Structure 1
Amino acid sequence: MDQSAWSEISALVGAAPYPVQVLAADPERAAACLAALEITTRSWLGAVVANSGGLLIDHGWLRVLGAGYDGLPDVAAEMARGAGRLVVAFDVMGGQFAWLQAEPCVRPTVHYFGPEDLTWQDLELGYGDWLEVMLTGAMTEFYEGLRWPGWEAEVASIALDQGIHTWPPPWTSEGKDLSAVSRKPIRLAELVSVQQEFARQLGFL
């Protein structure tokens, strides 16, 4: 019998320094997702998929993908076929975390595409290590430059399929102060698409 990694993950969820919500998983959808990814629950990704529709970390700022939930896709649906990239989480600002193999014969690591620079950065962490640091407090420092007074209530009030669009955007010098920009909720998929298009236009992708 597989030894699920969920006990380790759930212990971290319970001890997290900020709120973490485990969304309920649909068993059939979870099984289909595991089969599509060809993984078991011994892996941290497999355990998240089997036991949750997703994880909402720090008032919903970070949405870690699992088996899918109303308004949140499953991990398999976010597989970039041919690109060797598996998107495993989105943040409310339209940032993406993707697990990918940067070079042949090198273990896959989690990369982050952030709205403040519109480039992919290798975090040099495997999926399990990345999820552990996010659950144990790293988000506070990681997102320090992308937050504003009162963000918690604003982020918690929007739907799972929404993100927060800011104008001017965070990658401009005028958009660095998030407390002074225009902010509004829009569909997360649209926000991600807009940022990808800006990155292409600027030659970052």
Structure 2
Amino acid sequence: MRSLAELISDDRSAWAEIEAAVSGSPYAVELLPADPDRAADCLRRLQVATSSWLGALVYGTGGLILDDGWLRVLGSGHPRRRLADIHEVNERFEPAGLVVAQDILGGEFVWRQGETDGRPTIHYFAPDTLRWEDLTLGYTDWLYAMLAGAADQFYLSWRWPGWRDEVAACPLDAGISTAPPLFAKDGRDLDTVDRRPVSMSELLIVKHDMADQLGA
């Protein structure tokens, strides 16, 4: 196991690249402040250097919040804002890989071995299909793309009138549950379904249990 000193690369840190991507983003992006002790512990356990975007974000922030909380990219956590750290989330859900982000509807982004050439890529658990999709992008390319404008296209069909106010009012340890669910044929129009905030744990348990039942 590498020491904290070996993981922190001040001269080669990716933090400046992250700040530049955030500054140039067309979205409202919030970088939650990191508690130094908490951040150091998370980085040590993660064993990813700050020369990478993943290591730099975990060490430098409590998390990255895009579009008032629609997307929550995990860092070292921020208890006051009720955002768990990257290890707490992975201890709860334990998918095949590392959960690096979650969205308001219970979608999960996981960094794991790709399905084509075997390199690690971001996979998305889609709440409308209950299936995992290989996005074929590494962590850095995926996060850069989302910050640069890809989030609009990615979530285009799921945005409803007034969504921003509902999302902003939802705590960061919660998501929005819909009835009928998004994966049902009559649940695709999010403007007409019933929507309510529930804990993220509850939202994910329901979706993954249903995926198991359907063999998705």
- Are residue 130 (structure 1) and residue 142 (structure 2) matched? yes
Counterpart-to-counterpart distance in 2, 1:92 and 1:83: 18
The equivalent residue for 2:5 is: none
Aligned identity (percent) is: 50
Structure 2: tracts of 5 or more residues without a match: 1-7
Q: Alpha-carbon deviation of 1:78? A: 3.1
Q: Aligned AA for 1:183? A: R
The equivalent residue for 2:125 is: 113
Relative to structure 1, the CA distance from residue 167 to residue 20 in structure 2 (aligned partners, 3 Å threshold; closer, same or farther) is same
Relative to structure 1, the CA distance from residue 132 to residue 183 in structure 2 (aligned partners, 3 Å threshold; closer, same or farther) is same
Among residues 8, 31, 49, which one is paired with 1:22 in the alignment?
Answer: 31
Q: Alpha-carbon deviation of 1:83? A: 5.7
Structure 1: tracts of 5 or more residues without a match: none
Q: Aligned AA for 2:214? A: L
Q: Alpha-carbon deviation of 1:84? A: 4.5
Among residues 185, 188, 201, which one is paired with 1:189 in the alignment?
Answer: 201
The equivalent residue for 2:112 is: 100
1:119-198 correspondence to structure 2 within 5 Å:
119-198=131-210
SS of 2:68's equivalent? coil
The answer to whether the Cα contact below 8 Å between 2:122 and 2:137 also exists between their aligned partners in 1 is: yes
Aligned residues: 204
Which has the larger helix fraction?
Answer: 2
User: What TM-score results when the alignment is normalised by the length of structure 2?
Assistant: 0.90
The answer to whether the Cα contact below 8 Å between 1:78 and 1:86 also exists between their aligned partners in 2 is: no
User: What TM-score results when the alignment is normalised by the length of structure 1?
Assistant: 0.95
SS of 1:89's equivalent? strand
The answer to whether the Cα contact below 8 Å between 2:115 and 2:134 also exists between their aligned partners in 1 is: no
Give the stretch that moved more between structures: 69-78 or 191-200. 69-78
SS of 1:78's equivalent? helix
